């Protein structure tokens, strides 16, 4: 009878210890899962911001290139306009001079 009681007590204590161990292990696994998810989220966040910085740099470079191209076109257009205005002024001056010469010669 004493042996049977010892076996029952041993089985019960083993069951109780096993139950406690499993609950602690489940808690530890939950904490590990949570921590690993935090690490993955942190890594993903770093990757996202690195890619975002790269994209913003590329966009800024492209927009700067477009702006410089537009300024160059506008400058070339202004140069052409100035050239035409100077040509027109010189043409008017030449016509006046020609008219004056013709008037003096008559």
Dihedral-angle region of residue 75 (phi above 0 means left; psi in -120 to 50 means alpha; beta otherwise): alpha
What pLDDT is stored for residue 2 in this prediction? Answer: 87
pLDDT of residue 5: 87
Across the chain, where does the E strand assignment appear? none
Collapsing DSSP states into helix, strand and coil, what is residue 64?
helix
pLDDT of residue 3: 85
pLDDT at residue 9, rounded to an integer: 92
Q: Where are the domains of the chain?
A: 1-77
Tokens of 68: 């410089």
Q: What is the pLDDT of residue 55?
A: 98
Which residues of the chain fall short of a pLDDT of 70?
A: none
59-88 pLDDT per residue, tens: 999 999 999 999 999 999 999 999 999 999
């Amino acid at each position: 009878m004493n042996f049977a009681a010892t076996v029952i007590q041993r089985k019960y204590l083993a069951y109780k210890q096993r139950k406690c161990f499993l609950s602690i292990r489940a808690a530890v696994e939950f904490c590990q899962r949570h921590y690993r998810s935090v690490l993955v989220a942190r890594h993903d966040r770093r990757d996202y911001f690195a890619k975002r910085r790269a994209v913003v740099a590329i966009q800024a470079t492209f927009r700067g290139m477009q702006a410089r191209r537009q300024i160059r076109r506008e400058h070339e257009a202004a140069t052409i306009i100035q050239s035409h205005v100077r040509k027109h002024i010189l043409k008017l001056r030449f016509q006046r001079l020609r008219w004056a010469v013709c008037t003096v010669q008559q």
